[in-house]
Amino acid sequence: MAAEKYSMVKALNEALRRSLEADPKTLVMGEDVGRLGGVFRVTDGLHKDFGDARIIDTPLAESGIMGTAIGLALRGYRPVVEIQFDGFVYPAFDQIVTQLAKMHARALGHVKLPITVRIPFGGGIGAVEHHSESHETYFAHTAGLKVVSPSNPVDAHWMLRQAIASDDPVIFLEPKRRYWDKGVVDPLGEAALPLHAARVARAGKDLTLVAYGPMVKVCLEAAEAAAEDGHQIEVVDLRSLSPVDFDTLEASVKRTGRAVIVHEAPVFLGMGAELAARITERCFYSLEAPVLRVGGYFAPYPPSRVEETYLPDLDRVLDAVDRALAF
């Protein structure tokens, strides 16, 4: 199959297909992932081609799904679990943080749990309560888990294949508001970066915008808008939230002297808090301004009719850019 333009949904679907073909021990399991093909159609067509034994429709029981996946991994399988929506992961939280994250250390390295947990996360789709959560810091704070989030179809495809091939448990956060964005994907090619490497999505010299998942596109738009005023903004797509590629981040901020961190999750104790602290520690003598953060408000995610007010947008990012450049 030659390179062609894929939506993120299709890129993820193709990644699952390639991983299933590559390893007969790889399984896909979750609510409605089989005959329905998933609520976002990420698993569309896989049940027809791989059957009930490998594309498994589960009961509506997230804790049971995760517990079953852990048991399968202990028996040598490589489960790919889909949590249907971000807010549905909480019943499985105990299994994830007390079993999945700790089993390798508990067994002194003798046991591996190669489980990928796919979670559509974030807002921007007009959904009801429990369908627009940004809970990445819960998992990034948990030692023993790897946490990644692609921002575009190319990264979504290759990062999912890398996550499934990894022997570590990976929380794979899919920005659902970007599911319909398109990019050119070549499934026969190779990944451009290791799974946990950040990338410079746009080069610049005046300020570094740091983002991941759904907010990378907003930051690229902000950089384009700032260019009209003569400002050259660099955009760093973190891609991995645990571990974080601090070397790439440090190199960028030392070049620009300023940093603004953007994410959908609330600013209070969000990823930006750790990132800002690390940037300050590692780049103190290079900084020309305080590290600023842009994120959601410290409040429950609102009804869909006002979510655009809650979510960081172009204007809020540009406001932070202007404040940082004013120093």
Catalytic annotation, pick one of 47, 131, 157, 231? 131
What tokens were used for 50? 């791989």
Cα Dmax for the chain: 60
What tokens were used for 272? 């930006």
Q: 261: helix, coil or strand?
A: strand
Which residue do the tokens 């809970």 mark? Answer: 135
DSSP 233-249: EEEEE--EEES--HHHH
> Which amino acid is present at 47?
H
Q: What angle (nearest 5°) sits at the alpha carbon of residue 238, between those of residues 234 and 239?
A: 135
String of b and e for 22-53 (b: at least 16 CB within 10 Å)? eeeebbbbbbebbeebbbbebbbebbeebeee
- Based on the residue annotation, tell me whether 47 is a catalytic residue of this protein: no
Q: Where are the beta strands (DSSP E) in 64-203?
A: 78-82, 116-121, 146-148, 170-175, 182-185, 199-202
Query: Any long-range contacts for 51-56 (C-beta under 8 Å, 24+ apart)?
Result: 54/20, 54/26, 54/27, 54/28, 55/27, 55/28, 55/29, 56/27, 56/28, 56/29, 56/30
The sign one gets for the Cα dihedral 145, 146, 151, 153 is negative
Which residues does residue 6 pair with via DSSP β-bridges, in sequence order? 183
Angle at which helices 215-227 and 314-325 cross, to 10°: 60
Indicate which residues carry an active-site annotation: 131
